[in-house]
Chains A and B, each alone.
Chain A
């Protein structure tokens, strides 16, 4: 199997089969990142396709010396997701949403009953993440997911991907965590209260 680097070089030289291989190899990861940032599968699919098409068209400008291919792809994906969020905000601006009464993002597909509590926490966390401001959401999602070793990105990579200094990337991650932690504490209290009532 050809390495990613060979595939990139072959597509830079015009071999369409190499482009197809790159597309297949990276679609899922790009889609998942977009899903993490947008919280909506249909939109994430469009964003992923956009980002990959854009990346493949501009492959001539990708420099392996400057960044890993996946980091470069993530840069493009984050920017595509930002565009979408901007459009979404313009299209669906409403007072209730602005005041924070908007409907919660759809919970991901349910698991069997057995892991109900874990599932509830997971949904609470996901909702809280989706309610963060876009820069904080980008930072926390990238810190926990999408890096090379199946783990998160380094701060250097986050800074490159979202286009900010390293110090800013670090403080965004910390701030995102702090906000999540506060919201989760609040939602856990609410859950407890509900259990006591019922």
Chain B
């Protein structure tokens, strides 16, 4: 007798091959020495066998009538194929166009910021609507990816293009977010009674960590998406990024 008996849940896991290799080996060793667990396993094995047989037999003996003849669905197929191809082109075109427009708007919104970085104007990042509109565009392009019908995915090429566009776009918006964070930081410092010049001198305290985070997220994100192009997890991460970025962009509007 070695140690404690295994729980019923573990034994079921063993039966259904859902244990890790280590757990499985551990259990193999225990089973050799323990008649009690062997009995429990045997009982479950018998029951699993019964369920397996019953399911297979019932399903195989399903009282089927002859299938509807192919001729009956052929016209539906013909029109369906035409319609679905046209609809798909439309949706794909719209999605990519939205993402491209978002990226262009995001890039355009960077120009005033280049000057702004050296000067002090609290309100510019908060009042420029371009990054917000760009962010909303990215959101639109992403949302559609969750409501795809089952088994229907973007082609790999299209998914790669869209992922690349959204990744670039979110990276650019991320720069805007750094500026917003800097503004928020300076705002807090000034509320404490500092002059704008002093606040500007202290701003690297906020900009540096934000910039490091940006680099990590951009590189890490690229790696993450590259492995999961077109998969749900990838769209989910993009959607999450976009929502956070949009909230950050909107935050100053409520504060200032």
Contact = CB atoms under 8 A, between A and B. Distances in A.
Assign chain A's interface to a size class.
Answer: 35 or more
Interface of A: 16, 19-20, 23-24, 27-28, 31-33, 35-36, 41, 44-45, 48-49, 52-53, 55-63, 65-66, 72, 75-76, 78-79, 108-109, 121-122, 125-126, 129, 140-141, 143-145, 155, 163, 170-171, 173-174, 177-178, 180-181, 184
Contacts of A32: 59-60, 62, 64
B74 A45 contact: no
B192 interface: no
A72 B48 CA distance: 27
Nearest to B79: A57
B13 interface: yes
B84 interface: yes
B84 A174 contact: no
Interface of B: 8-9, 12-13, 15-16, 18, 44, 47-48, 50-65, 67-68, 70, 73-74, 76-78, 80-81, 84-85, 88, 149-153, 155-156, 232
Given A35-B62, A174-B12, A79 B150 contact: yes
28 contacts: A19-B74, A20-B74, A24-B70, A31-B67, A35-B64, A36-B55, A36-B59, A41-B64, A41-B65, A52-B73, A55-B151, A56-B73, A57-B77, A57-B84, A58-B151, A59-B81, A60-B84, A61-B152, A61-B153, A79-B150, A108-B58, A121-B50, A122-B53, A163-B232, A173-B18, A174-B9, A177-B15, A181-B44
B68 A49 contact: yes
Contacts of B67: 23-24, 27-28, 31, 45, 48-49
**What does DSSP make chain A's interface, helix, strand, loop or mixed?**
helix
Given A44-B62, A61-B88, A75 B55 contact: no
- Chain B's interface: helix, strand, loop or mixed, by majority? helix
Contact of B58 (A49, A122, A155, A174): A122
Given A32-B64, A63-B155, A144-B52, 8 more contacts: A19-B77, A62-B151, A79-B149, A122-B54, A141-B55, A145-B55, A155-B18, A163-B150
Which 8 A-B pairs have CB atoms at the shortest separation, nearest pair first? A57-B80, A125-B54, A170-B18, A79-B150, A35-B62, A122-B54, A20-B70, A27-B67
B207 to A, nearest CB: 38
A36 B156 CA distance: 33
A2 B74 CA distance: 21
A145 to B, nearest CB: 6
A143 to B, nearest CB: 7
B70 A23 contact: yes
Contacts of B53: 122
A145 B74 CA distance: 30
Contact of A53 (B12, B65, B80, B149): B80
Given A55-B151, A75-B150, A109-B63, A122 B156 contact: no
Nearest to A154: B17
Contacts of A53: 73, 76-77, 80
